[in-house]
């Protein structure tokens, strides 16, 4: 990230780069830049940097509050329409704190405080009362994606709002404690996220393709996109055909969990100690792969998205409209969402990170999981991601990789646990403390969500499924939870 910051400083302010001083508070011009970048080509903004590129830094004591204020403003429908989910990222430059964010081009016209801003050279301009300039913004956005196409014949009965909205609220609140979606009515969430819009030509409102993909019943999605499917394939022994296969054609929220479960079923997990917390690199890698093929694909194509698990790698493919064909460099590439509405929704509910950080996470955790290996991301008509050496879940041999002190992994974890199996790993005091925290989070999640499988709970609290299953079993044994069903379909409910 530091290399990218230095590159931006060298290039200087311009059409897609903006510097702001912002020592201890955010000025209104910060939000005007967010609005103008969203309406033009997207761009990068650095807070704590003077116009000439000199790093002055933001006040260390104010950094946390600045990040919170920024996120709250962009998620407030009274301030931004539609709401945006963009996070400021702390980067240390020359011993000072700089806050960085990439602002993507959106498929909708963005307004800040009921005003429309556009970008020209290195300035942000209010074009609210300039119909010609507003028309030009709309013309640029019109060909961006098909996700905001309005289907006036689709009604609320065609969507699984009653079943999925409670889950969405919990996920958003888990992502950010005071997330506004927690208490907002369903329709306000849909409108704020750009999932329910008014057709500017006919004047009639309706649900967008993004809404149908995120919440739609399977038969409704099939009627709109007959070719929509994600094909998950295990190809280890039978390389000519497959050893296991799952075809997913349900809405994106449910599809995410199913594909994550398929990867967890056929790959072995490992643990990595990050600070004082144990992290699952496998879950981190899978999350980035799955969110990419679901949120950044061209849905009008009949070519199915694919997840192929092979002996020495996992490969994902999805059709896209390439902007810069070729292999991506994580240090220099400029992220651009293929479906901004869906991508933004995924970030809100924790299925993805803010734009750009997902690729960096993929590189980071692939190196950790494989002891130095790197993924390949190749953009073309078919966007392909290749991650090396995700280990077969059926291989129970102890992994003997030598890890450094700050990259210790638990090598005896497998998702193939019997119903009453117990993990025999000897845990350190820090890990035991971590278990208590995870147990508390699981109980809170079960009380708010009603019931869940171990795999579903693992996605929400970002822990390995095997760890979650073990701790849920302990909660049942301690009389704090009930369990029904068997094996991977077992569901847990708080007493």
**89 in Cβ contact with 357 (< 8 Å):** yes
**269 in Cβ contact with 464 (< 8 Å):** yes
The full set of domains in the chain, from first to last, is 1-143 (3.30.950.30), 425-495 (1.10.10.10)
**468 in Cβ contact with 438 (< 8 Å):** yes
* Residues whose CB falls within 8 Å of the CB of residue 211, separated by 6 or more in sequence, listed in order: 154, 159, 190, 195, 196
| pLDDT digits 0-9 by tens, 398-443 | 333 333 333 333 333 333 333 333 333 333 333 344 678 888 888 8
Q: How many residues does the chain have?
A: 495
Count CA atoms within 13 Å of residue 188 on its CB side: 11
Q: What's the N-to-C CA distance of the chain in angstroms?
A: 46
Structure tokens belonging to residue 97? 């704190």
Structure tokens belonging to residue 462? 């970002």
**458 in Cβ contact with 464 (< 8 Å):** yes
| pLDDT digits 0-9 by tens, 62-107 | 999 999 999 999 989 899 999 998 889 999 998 999 999 999 888 7
* Residues whose CB falls within 8 Å of the CB of residue 160, separated by 6 or more in sequence, listed in order: 215, 216, 217, 251
Residues of the chain with pLDDT under 50: 393, 395-433
Structure tokens belonging to residue 182? 């927690």
What is the structure's pLDDT at 334? 65
pTM passes above 0.95: no
Phi/psi of residue 386, nearest 5 degrees: -125, 120
């Amino acid at each position: 990230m530091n290399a990218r910051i230095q590159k931006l400083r060298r290039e200087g302010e311009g059409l897609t780069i903006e510097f702001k001083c912002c020592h201890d508070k955010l000025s209104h011009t910060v939000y005007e830049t967010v609005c103008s970048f969203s309406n033009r080509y997207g761009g990068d903004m650095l807070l704590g940097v003077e116009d000439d590129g000199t790093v002055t830094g933001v006040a260390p004591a104010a950094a946390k509050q600045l990040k919170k204020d920024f996120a709250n403003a962009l998620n407030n429908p009274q301030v931004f329409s539609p709401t945006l989910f963009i996070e400021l990222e702390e980067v240390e430059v020359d011993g000072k704190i700089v806050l960085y964010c990439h602002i993507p081009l959106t498929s909708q016209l963005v307004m800040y405080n009921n005003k429309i801003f556009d970008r020209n050279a290195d300035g942000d301009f209010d074009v609210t009362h300039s119909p010609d300039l507003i028309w030009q913004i709309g013309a640029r956005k019109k060909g961006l994606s098909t996700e905001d196409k309005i289907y006036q014949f689709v009604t609320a009965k065609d969507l699984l709002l009653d079943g999925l909205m409670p889950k969405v609220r919990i996920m958003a609140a888990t992502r950010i404690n005071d997330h506004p979606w927690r208490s907002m009515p369903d329709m306000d969430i849909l409108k704020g996220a750009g999932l329910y819009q008014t057709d500017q030509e006919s004047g009639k409102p309706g649900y967008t393709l993004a809404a149908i993909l995120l919440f739609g019943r399977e038969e409704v999605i099939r009627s709109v996109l007959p070719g929509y499917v994600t094909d998950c394939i295990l190809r280890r022994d039978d390389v000519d055909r497959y050893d296991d296969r799952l075809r997913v054609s349900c809405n994106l929220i449910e599809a995410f969990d199913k594909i994550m479960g398929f990867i967890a079923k056929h790959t072995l997990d490992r643990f990595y100690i990050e600070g004082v917390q144990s992290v699952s690199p496998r879950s981190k890698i899978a999350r980035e792969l799955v969110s990419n093929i679901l949120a950044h694909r061209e849905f009008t194509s009949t070519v199915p998205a694919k997840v192929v698990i092979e002996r020495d790698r996992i490969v994902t493919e999805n059709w896209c409209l390439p902007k810069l064909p070729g292999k991506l460099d994580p240090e220099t590439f400029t992220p651009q969402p293929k479906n901004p509405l869906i991508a933004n929704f995924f970030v809100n509910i924790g299925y993805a990170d803010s734009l750009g950080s997902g690729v960096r996470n993929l590189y980071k955790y692939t190196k950790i999981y494989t002891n130095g290996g790197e993924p390949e991301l190749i953009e073309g008509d078919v966007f392909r991601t290749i991650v090396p050496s995700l280990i077969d879940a059926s291989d129970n041999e102890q992994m003997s990789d030598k890890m450094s002190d700050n990259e210790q992994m638990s090598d005896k974890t497998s998702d193939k646990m019997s119903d009453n199996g117990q993990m025999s790993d000897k845990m350190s005091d820090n890990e035991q403390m971590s278990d208590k925290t995870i147990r508390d989070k699981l109980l809170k999640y079960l009380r708010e969500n009603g019931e869940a499988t171990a795999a579903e709970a693992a996605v929400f609290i970002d822990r390995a499924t095997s760890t979650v299953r073990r701790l849920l079993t302990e909660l049942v044994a301690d009389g704090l939870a009930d369990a029904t069903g068997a094996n991977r379909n077992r569901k847990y409910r708080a007493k």
